[in-house]
A and B are shown apart, each in its own frame.
Chain A
Amino acid sequence: MKQQILAIIWAQFRITRNHLPRTGVGGVVMWIITGLWYAMFVALAVLAISGIPTLTLELLRQALPIALLVLFVYNQTIPLFTLSTGWSLQISKLQVYPIRDNDLFGLEVLLRITSAPEFIIVLLGGVIGLARRPDVPLFAALCLLLFIPLNLFLQLAVRDFVIHAFARNRFREIITIFVVSIGIIPQLLIRTGLGIKLKPYFLLLANGAATPWYTAAAVSLGQFSTRNFALLAAWTLLAGFLARRQFALGLVQDDAFRGGTPARASKKDASFPILDSISNLFQDPTAAIVQKELRSLLRMPRFRVVFGMACIFSTVLFLPLRIEHADKPSGFLFNNYFVAVNLYGLLIMADALLLNIFGVDRSAAQLYFVSPTPLATVIKAKNLAAAAFILVQNLLVAILTPLFAHVSPASIVAGFIASAVATINLMWAGNLLSVSMARPIDPSSTMRKQAGGKVQLWILICTIGMAILVGFAYLARWAFDSEWALLAVLLFEFAIGVVVYRVALDSAVERGMRDRETMIDSLSKTSSPVGGSLGLG
């Protein structure tokens, strides 16, 4: 058993190591960033080691539960992010090997340490800091380590719950959007003053006498009461029970042989019959390609997440800034909240819809080169499908934003036109990028993996270009102090964009036909686990 534990820990280390770029500057940069990241937590641990002995016992009694609550929250949320990018060994795959289920569970709990080692680093700093105090017995300081099993158990329970939630369509998308949205919470708390408002509740929670962090803090400060130990044991047992239950559920549910289990027949196939009406607007093959694009994108978990984020995440992301400027109704963001949200949403979708239009077709992209459909028609049809999604996103954001902030009709009109300007310009740039730097996308993968450095650079250039174009219009409005100037410049830019689109389309077709072999080859490759696949935004 010991050997198997060591083998799995070793494999976990290799997997983590192999996630990092292995050669060149990228590798060095990643190592430096990783080093800096952990150095930050080591510094926190050192701070705890040197700071705890200087505090009064009274202050420590107040501060320790708060610190433990913060660590608890960190430890429970960070693995949600790491889980989503695959930084963990899939224990369920080990079932075919001669290892007992109980041992697998033990190993899984142990592996949770690797999900957030920062938690352990800081906690160890706390233990040493407490041990350095003359008024805290060494045994009491060591009791702080009792907080670890509870956290590991709960982390495992949450992780397994989320993994199985991810396995379900639609629920997976909601969970992903929720997980990604966690990222805006600190900004929301700091910029809106919500943090100050919630502070009393947070302190109340931190000092809740029956909570695991409070009891762990009490025990580690030498308050050895039966009640404290019983409470801590009860919390740990409860977390252990939840973890074991989720784990057992996972062993049953995880389909190690994916193709083997007959899938439950879908109660209602999402065929989107409304899309048939596209045939009334366009002729085949354009209509067929647009319908295919819309259907496949709507069925794709990855795109549903992207689209959901473009509508919801972008709206919520700018909300703290909007609230912050609520007392200055003449502020730029106050007046242009809708435009900002709209354009940010477009950027989130741009990579999937505009900048890598053949990515989701992957190996099937060769069909476009062997079928009698001109490549120009294919590209235009794909652009039409993208425009439809962008229009729907614009409309949804136009409905959503007034729920959060006052939006003027002029701002809504400007938002739609700015979105059209950005779309047409990203479209022609994207068409060129799509044939020259085609990348495969895993349509079933919900979460983001980084695209290659060169591609990221081009995405950045396109983003800056879009910002400059829209910025010019606002510069005109400022210079002439007129909304008409803004609209005129936007319309002019749109017209220029249409002309450039036509020219760039010819170039994209020419390049696509010339480099089709390279393009098909790139798209046929399995998306690399170390970068190289399309991101969310």
Chain B
Amino acid sequence: MSIADEVPAIEITGLEKIYHGFHAVDGLTITVPQRCFFGFLGPNGAGKTTTIKMLMGLAQPDAGSIRVLGLPMPEKSLEIRREIGLVPDDSLLFDYLTGVEYLEFVGRLYGLPKPQAKERGGELLQLFQLAENNRKLIGEYSKGMRKRVAMAAALIHRPKLFLMDEPFEGVDAVGARLMKDILIDQVRHGATVFLTSHVLEVVERLCDEVAIINRGKIVTQGSMADLRSRSATGASSLEEIFVNTVGAERYTEKLDWL
């Protein structure tokens, strides 16, 4: 079964995940077209990471269906994983490997021949300005460096779909700019990016389409223009739309002494 070009990159229908009686994801339905830069936003604990886990086949949905690049998950999880570049939180890194060792290792897991994995690993390390620390173990990296090496690992096999969980967290301005440029370039060349981020300015600038999730449910979805036109309060920035959508209260109404 091959992956067709014209199917949506991600098609989620009625997805549910329940942890100990708590609906982490509750009837989620999203369609992400290919070659789209998609922002998946929500407050802490809204269900973003759980959704990514289910997209990767790491968590079993309690209800609903997922199709990634036209293939059903988890039935075709192996084929799907070959096409995905994942930038997770830093827990998937191996602390006792150096950056170049880690990249070579990941490249080989994706089926690249060893010399090619090594060569690409070296090049990516140069690109992400980590080459001068090539004897440093990942466990000794700063948070920003860990994100950069994770991003490099996601790129090594030229995936069709990027799943990124807070990719810019802890990354300095130069590193973030580099990562954004690479992602824009990847989308231009046909890849799809599905990212979660709390840096709303970045999402606003980069994403073609945005979905906001709260308490496991999609509360709004569309392009930035769509979201602005739908805003009842006339909010124009994504931050305002986000805050209005998830229903944040003003602190002064709660603490009169402050």
Contact = CB atoms under 8 A, between A and B. Distances in A.
Interface string A70-107: 00000000000000001001100111111110000000
A383 to B, nearest CB: 32
Interface stretch (A8-16, A28-36, A229-237, A497-505): A8-16
Given A256-B91, A257-B53, A257-B58, A7 B109 contact: yes
B110 A97 contact: yes
Interface string B55-75: 011111000000000000000
A10 B95 CA distance: 15
A96 B105 contact: no
Given A257-B49, A528-B140, 8 more contacts: A6-B108, A7-B114, A18-B97, A86-B96, A89-B94, A261-B50, A262-B45, A265-B20
A11 B114 CA distance: 12
B106 interface: yes
A258 interface: yes
Nearest to B49: A260
Contacts of A99: 78, 109
Interface in B114-158: 114, 117, 135, 137, 139-140, 142
Interface residues of B, number: 46
A96 B101 contact: no
A4 interface: yes
Interface stretch (B29-37, B82-90, B204-212): B82-90
27 contacts: A7-B108, A7-B114, A7-B117, A10-B108, A14-B96, A14-B97, A18-B98, A18-B101, A93-B91, A96-B86, A96-B92, A97-B109, A97-B110, A98-B78, A98-B109, A100-B78, A257-B58, A257-B88, A257-B92, A259-B91, A260-B49, A260-B53, A260-B89, A261-B24, A262-B22, A264-B20, A529-B139
Contacts of A265: 20
Contacts of B110: 97-98
B81 interface: yes
A3 interface: yes
B190 interface: no
A272 B104 CA distance: 49
Contact of A97 (B95, B101, B104, B106): B106
A526 interface: yes
3 cross-chain pairs, A with B, having the tightest CB-CB distances, nearest first: A260-B49, A7-B108, A529-B139
A474 B55 CA distance: 69
B19 interface: yes
Contacts of A261: 19, 24, 50, 53, 59
A22 interface: yes
Nearest to A93: B92
B11 interface: no
A15 B96 contact: yes
Contacts of B140: 526, 528-529
A19 interface: yes
A524 B96 CA distance: 20
A530 interface: yes
A61 B85 CA distance: 57
Interface string A190-207: 000000000000000000
Nearest to A4: B109
B234 interface: no
B94 A11 contact: yes
A529 B95 contact: yes
A3 B94 contact: no
A103 to B, nearest CB: 10
Contact of A11 (B78, B89, B97, B165): B97
B97 A259 contact: no
